[in-house]
């Protein structure tokens, strides 16, 4: 699924002046996103409520959903730099549609097991690796580098809106129609997204294929060196990976907290996660004016410092007033993430030559989504061998430190992103 950016000041629809190819990409992301957020909630709820999964199993399920980024994330960037991006996106959507559809089919046949869920989320993650890297590499071709911040802003705010509507709707669908029905919506959204992407004109802007004399290993390492050796990209990667890991410690255990510890239903869980969507939307909308006022560097670290105390409310979650307080803390953490996503994605695209876009994006996805895998595994271990509350506390405390890599780098006082380069 496409992960990037924020809305125009007027709303969440793309401006008619956007190229048709980008409008189709945006529409595919919109359709796919609705199903994704419904399914993203339904799978762990299905595991906990219908298959009696333990905290350790829930953690493993979350880890496997992103493990593909650790296994093939880096080589995927090399491949995608030489493949047609539209073809990659369509193929990934079709494969994920088939995999996700197997879950409700197996449930209705009385044969669904945790082992099948493990396989489905792992292989679906493989498709997501290629889709995410291809989408972020495709975007500069479709809109031009001078409109990257606006395009990323539109995409991110739409995604944040979908978090609100999709997860809230997902909780309601799971509550009323059961989790397998909610997962059907996810499968249908992948199929519909593929159909929309196929309509992108063959003549849409495309980076011409280039033959490189270097071997596969050298091309792969070139992307890694670009990220790890860049004075702006390296601290950005460290900070964002830390945010992903610490947020995952919380999100992995929330279904256990809501369904078992607090005795609340899937609908309440969906509303709580939807509050995070509100925060992400607010972050996406405020990212550009905030960066214009205080500088792009300060907009990457100052929000993290400011929301740290509010993030400490999340581990105190309980019924009654503390549920609302924890929701406020979750909204604040998501706001900070929304701001960082818009500014960070635009910064890294602008700082990367065309020929390295796929490998740069693959390296970031390897690090950032790999951090989600590690976070989910750590959450499962903490939840299984300590307790769920300990996991939430560790997540809040470590999240409060994730702004430091940016603060201790040249990004701290950066006023404007680097000039786009095609070198």
Does some domain include residue 94? yes
Q: Which residues contact 307 (CB under 8 A, 6 or more apart)?
A: 332, 333, 335, 336
Instruction: Describe the chain by its helix, strand, coil percentages, rounded to 5.
Output: 80, 0, 20
Does some domain include residue 159? yes
Q: State the pLDDT at residue 214.
A: 65
Does some domain include residue 81? yes
Q: Between helices 148-177 and 321-350, what is the axis angle to 10°?
A: 140
Does some domain include residue 361? yes
Q: What is the pLDDT of residues 132-145, one digit of tens each?
A: 888 888 887 888 77
Q: Which two tokens stand for residue 33?
A: 């996103």
Assign residue 259 the CATH number of its domain. Answer: 1.20.1250.20
Give how many domains the chain has, as a whole number. 1
Does some domain include residue 9? no
Q: What is the pLDDT of residues 309-359, one digit of tens each?
A: 899 999 999 998 999 999 999 999 999 998 998 888 878 877 888 778 778
Does some domain include residue 12? no
Percentage of the chain modeled with pLDDT above 90: 35
State mean pLDDT over 412-419. 79
pTM for this one? 0.70
Q: Which two tokens stand for residue 169?
A: 């709707």
Does some domain include residue 398? yes
Q: State the pLDDT at residue 403.
A: 95
DSSP-derived letter for residue 260 is I
Cβ atoms of 247 and 375 within 8 Å: the answer is yes
Q: Check pLDDT > 90 for residue 246.
A: yes
State the chain's mean pLDDT as an integer.
Answer: 84
Does some domain include residue 421? no
Which residue range forms the structural domain that includes residue 237? 20-200+216-413
Q: Check pLDDT > 80 for residue 405.
A: yes
């Amino acid at each position: 699924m496409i992960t990037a950016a924020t809305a125009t000041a007027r709303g969440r629809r793309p401006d008619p002046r956007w190229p048709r190819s980008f409008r189709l990409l945006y529409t595919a992301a919109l359709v796919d996103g609705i199903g994704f957020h419904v399914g993203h909630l339904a799978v762990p709820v299905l595991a906990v409520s219908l298959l009696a999964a333990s905290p350790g199993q829930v953690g493993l399920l979350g880890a496997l959903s992103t493990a593909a980024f650790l296994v093939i994330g880096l080589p995927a960037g090399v491949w995608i730099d030489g493949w047609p991006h539209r073809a990659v996106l369509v193929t990934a959507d079709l494969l994920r549609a088939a995999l996700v559809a197997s879950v409700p089919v197996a449930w209705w046949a009385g044969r669904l097991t945790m082992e099948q869920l493990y396989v489905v989320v792992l292989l679906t993650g493989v498709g997501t690796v290629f889709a995410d890297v291809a989408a972020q590499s495709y975007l500069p071709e479709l809109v031009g580098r001078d409109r990257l911040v606006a395009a990323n802003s539109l995409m991110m705010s739409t995604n944040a809106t979908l978090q609100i509507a999709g997860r809230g709707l997902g909780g309601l669908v799971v509550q009323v129609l059961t989790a397998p029905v909610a997962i059907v919506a996810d499968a249908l959204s992948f199929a519909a997204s593929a159909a929309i992407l196929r309509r992108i004109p063959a003549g849409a802007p495309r980076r011409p294929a280039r033959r490189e004399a270097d071997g596969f290993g050298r091309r792969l390492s070139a992307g890694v060196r670009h990220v790890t050796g860049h004075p702006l990209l390296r601290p950005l990667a460290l900070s964002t990976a830390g945010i992903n890991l610490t947020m995952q410690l919380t999100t992995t255990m929330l279904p256990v907290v809501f369904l078992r510890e607090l005795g609340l239903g899937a609908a309440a869980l969906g509303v709580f996660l939807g509050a995070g969507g509100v925060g992400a939307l607010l972050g996406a909308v405020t990212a550009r004016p905030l960066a214009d006022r205080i500088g792009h560097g300060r907009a990457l670290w100052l929000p993290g410092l400011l929301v740290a105390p509010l993030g400490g409310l999340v581990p105190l979650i309980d019924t009654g007033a503390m549920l609302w307080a924890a929701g406020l803390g979750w909204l604040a953490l998501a706001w900070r993430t929304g701001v960082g996503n818009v500014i960070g994605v635009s910064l890294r695209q602008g700082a990367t030559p065309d020929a390295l876009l796929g490998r740069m994006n693959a390296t970031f996805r390897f690090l950032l989504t790999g951090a989600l895998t590690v976070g989910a595994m750590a959450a499962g271990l903490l939840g299984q061998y300590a307790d769920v509350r300990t996991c939430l506390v560790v997540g809040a405390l470590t999240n409060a430190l994730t702004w430091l890599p940016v603060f201790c780098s040249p990004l701290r006082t950066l006023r404007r992103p680097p000039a786009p380069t095609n070198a």
